[in-house]
Amino acid sequence: MPALVTIGIPTRNRREYVMRAITSVLAQSYPQIEVVVADNASTDDTVACVRAIDDVRLRLIEHSENIGMVANFNATLNASSGRFFVMLSDDDYLAPDAIETLIGAFEPPTDGMRGDEVGVSWTPSTIVDSVGVTQWTSRVGPPRESGFDFIEGSFRDGRGPRFCGVMVRSDDARIVGGYQARHGPPCDVGNWAQIALRYPFVVCTRRSLAFYTIHSSSETNVTTSSTWKRSGEAITQDLLDQLRRDGRERELARMKISGKALIGDLLIAGLSQSAGQRGWLWNTAVEVIRARKYLFTIRVACRFWQNFWKLKKLIVGRIRSNSSAR
C-alpha cells in the first residue's frame, strides 16, 4: 500500500488563498494523502469555509488565540500521521502530480540509490503574483547530490527550495526539532537543511511542481533585516554544530562561507518582497546599512546584478497593483 503523505497547511486570515491551496492538494494524483489545516485564530471566515469542505482526508485544527507563525507550523507537523510530510504555506499551491512525483525519490531502488538513503525530495517553484500570473521559475538542482552539496548549492548558488516544494520524512522533521522559533521566518530552511545533513542523497525534480506566491501581506514584508540576520546566523550555527558532532571537519569552513551567503540572500529576499511599497527605497537603504557586513560583498553584488530583472518585475507589479486598488 502506498505510504501516507501529510500536507500541512498553516493559515491565518487568508480564506481565498487557503481554499486554493486545499483545492490543489485534494486534487493530487497520489492516492494516500491527508491534509492538516491549522487555523491560527483567524478573524475572517476562513474556518467556516474550511469546515464546509466535505472530504475525509481533511482535518482542521482551530486555535482560539494567535500562537505565532512558527508554533502554528509545528501544529501541523505534530498532528501529522503520514510517513512523509510537506509543509504548504496557505498562499501557495501544488501541481496535480506534485506529491506523486516527490515521493518517487524515496522508492527503492532508483539510479543507484536506496530509498532510505534519500533525506529530501524537492522541486523548483514557479513564482507567481497575487493573481497567479507567473513571474519566473526558481533554479533547478542536480537530479541527485549529497546532502551537504544540496545545502551549499541552495545557500551559495541560488537554488530554489521553498516551503511548498520540499518533502521529508515526518519523523526526521520532528527529530531535528521541528520548525524552530529561533530560525524565524525561514524556519523551513533550518528544518530541511538539518535533515539533508543526515542523509547521503537529496533528489530534485526537473520540472516545477509547486507555485510560490509573492504578495504584499507576506510575512517577509513585515520582517526587519535584523530578524533575517538573526535567523540566518541561528540556522548556520546549528548546521556547524551538527557537522562538528559528526566529525565532518573538512566541511566546516565551507559551511561558514555558505552561511554568510544564506544571510545575504535572506536579506535580499526580504527587502525585495516589499518592493514598490510606500517608503520602500528609504527603508531599504536603512536596512542595507544595518546589514552591510553581509550585503557589501562581491558575491551579493553579482547576485543582485544577475537578478535585477526580478526586482524590476516586482516593483512594476506592485505599482500596478497599488494603482488598480485606488
Quick: pLDDT tens for 92-149.
Answer: 999 999 999 999 999 876 677 888 999 999 999 999 988 888 989 999 999 999 999 9
Can you spell out the DSSP letters for 46-105?
Answer: HHHHHHT---TTEEEEEESS---HHHHHHHHHHT--SSEEEE--TT-EE-TTHHHHHHGG
Global pTM value: 0.88
Which segment of 20-34, 178-192, 246-260, 272-286 scores lowest on mean pLDDT?
A: 272-286
* 271: pLDDT strictly greater than 80: no
Copy the grid coordinates of residue 74: 509545528
How large is the average pLDDT for residues 296-310?
Answer: 61
Cβ neighbours around 274 below 10 Å, total: 21
